[in-house]
Amino acid sequence: MLDDADALYGLGEFRDSYMNLRGKERELIQFNTQSAVPVIWSTRGWGLMWDNPSRTVYRDTPEGMSFSSDRGDIIDYYFFAGDKPDDIIASYRSLTGAQPMLPAWAFGYHQSRNRYHNEAELVEVASRMKELGVPMASIFIDYHYWGKYGTGSHRFDESLWPDIKALTKRLRDDYGTHSVITMWPCFKEGIDNYNRLDSAGAILHGAKAIDGVLYDPFNPEGRRLYREMIADIIDSGIDGWFLDGVEPDDKNSFLPTVTHDGPATRVHSAYPLVHTSNFREALDKQRPGQRHYMLTRCAWAGQQRNGTAVWSGDIPTTFDELSKQIPAGLQFTAAGVPYWTTDIGGYLKGNPKSPAYREVFTRWFQYGTFCPVFRNHGRRHPFNTNGPNEIWSYGDTVQQIITDYIALRYDLMPYIYSLSARVTMDGYTPMRLLAFDFAGDSRVLDVKDQFMYGPAFLVCPVTTAGATSREVVLAAGADWIDYRSAKTAQGGTTVTADAPREWMPLYVRAGSVIPRAGDVIEVWPGADAEFALYEDDGSSLDYLDGKYSNIVLKWDEAARTLTLGADARAPRHEFTVRLRGVNGAKDSVKKVAYDGKAKTVKF
């Protein structure tokens, strides 16, 4: 039986709007829009991983907390202890595997829709984004690029994509963006790849996905053949991988099958872990020394070690759904898998010409700017894969708002990328439900529509149609500065924040150091602060050999000084240090040349 003071979090991505899991019940099973990760932790300093991938029911009742699984020979679980939630999650990752660094471009803005049909459509979008001067980390080709060759052929139909190697190079060189394609773990009956897998006993007959049948990633020969089959497409110059349908896609047709490791009912939830492990093995072999970007629709415990980010599946396009996605993502990252996102605007429907949907899309885009992965995707009106979903599809007013948010994302990139280093090296979680940092304030333990992004930002999405303000709970233990007005509010209070259509309420924790683009270091005063500015080459695995710099930035509130710590590995910088003026005071700006030696700036 748990103590009354225990507040519980984790278990993965669910659309039930639960935050504190005390007194709740959840069925842990995977399907499109739900991702079960059987990791839970308490604000009283303990955590638990229930190591069973069959259907499991979690319950917390007055008689105690329990896990009950359908299949299994033994009870297998791991217990973690730590002073803080970050310590508990770091312990969990030390057991199940650290999250590798993603390539730096993965933290930028990703443009996608269902779907771009051919090279001309894709290049037209990339060209217009360049003309507008809007940065774009990647553009998603999505699926059916295989055309006449069939699902699972892992080939591009040349009538649609004449020279994929030349295209991917052109996207990088001429348009400054990367390419991402969909990869499904299924094969159309009759094609050569299907027949080879079937001959090896590695097809799960009856398990449907798109117009194909799933392969068995639990089968060693099936894994080997799959890696062999995707070798050419890995060599095509594609930069990222959109691993769709790994729940697996059609749960009801998968569960009656028998895998190499036993009935599907026994191993179900581990399918995405095993498949992404196999995919990463292929990437590691063919692209040694490089970081990989994989986005997948589901995850299980330990999947962070494969470097995958996760998105929440084919969700509706409503304000109600947006309100569900916020706690879903926070519970997912609380379960130890740090990189998560939604399809901005939702996936299923949405008419870019509708004023009502434009409001949904705008508010969702504002929220998406502060998700670990920032990706716009969906199947828009008229829902026949021709529906537009580019930033100009929503009218001039919306285009300007979301362009400003893309600019904000890139302006914060040094902060965001530095957080990603903490993820890999310290087991940190960037998108944080409030109990991570403010468990002592009982008011925040069940807050479902606010979160921290790193140590500095309190993000307050707007989830109600027509809203021009919203209530914000300001956690005790810090004072808070309104990002737009620079006015300070006391922690431990609830305020009404302005929320005009063009702005989502955003607060900065008093006592924050935020590195920004252009070698700007921004200090928000009010308390002592510390932040480490991390830099590396953004693409290789050289960071594993210590080839990076980590400049520790310390603000002393009483002395009014910012100290830049020594790091001989750091490149030279001409920093602009901006002390933000609050409550009507003006900003103070000073320049400092940094050459790896410690420097102190006095205000």
Query: Which residues does the annotation mark as catalytic?
Result: 244, 247, 314
Determine the distance from the C-alpha atom of residue 186 to the mean position of all C-alpha atoms in its chain, rounded to a whole number.
Answer: 25
Number of Cα atoms under 13 Å in the Cβ half of residue 365: 30
Position 351, amino acid: N
Instruction: Tell me which H or E stretch contains 27.
Output: strand 25-28
Detail the DSSP E strand segments found in 362-519.
374-376, 431-432, 451-453, 457-459, 469-474, 480-482, 488-489, 493-498, 506-509, 512-516
Query: Taken in order 46, 52, 58, 62, is the CA torsion positive or negative?
Result: negative
Lateral strand order in the sheet of 520-524 = 512-516, 520-524, 573-579, 588-594
Question: Phi/psi at 239 (nearest 5 deg)?
Answer: -95, -30
Q: What is the 3-state secondary structure (H, E, C) of 315-345?
A: CECCHHHHHHHHHHHHHHHHCCCCCEECCEC
Cβ atoms of residues 453 and 369 within 8 Å: no
CA distances, 298 to each of 30, 191, 342, 433 (Å): 7, 27, 12, 20
- From CA 209, how far away is CA 190, in angstroms rounded? 15
> How many helices (H) does the chain have, and how many strands (E)?
14, 36
DSSP string, 538-583: SSBSGGGGT--EEEEEEEETTTTEEEE---TTSPPEEEEEEE---T
CA distances, 565 to each of 43, 72, 363, 594 (Å): 33, 52, 39, 10
Cβ atoms of residues 293 and 102 within 8 Å: yes
266's tokens: 């026994």
Cβ atoms of residues 433 and 19 within 8 Å: yes
The SS3 call for residue 459 is strand
391 DSSP assignment: G
- From CA 72, how far away is CA 266, in angstroms rounded? 7
The region, left, alpha or beta by phi > 0 then psi within -120 to 50, assigned to residue 154 is left
Query: Taken in order 83, 89, 94, 96, is the CA torsion positive or negative?
Result: positive
The SS3 call for residue 296 is strand
Q: Which residues contact 247 (CB under 8 A, 6 or more apart)?
A: 30, 31, 32, 35, 271, 272, 297, 298
Find, among 456, 365, 375, 449, the residue nearest to 412 by Cα: 456
- From CA 138, how far away is CA 140, in angstroms rounded? 7
Number of Cα atoms under 13 Å in the Cβ half of residue 516: 17
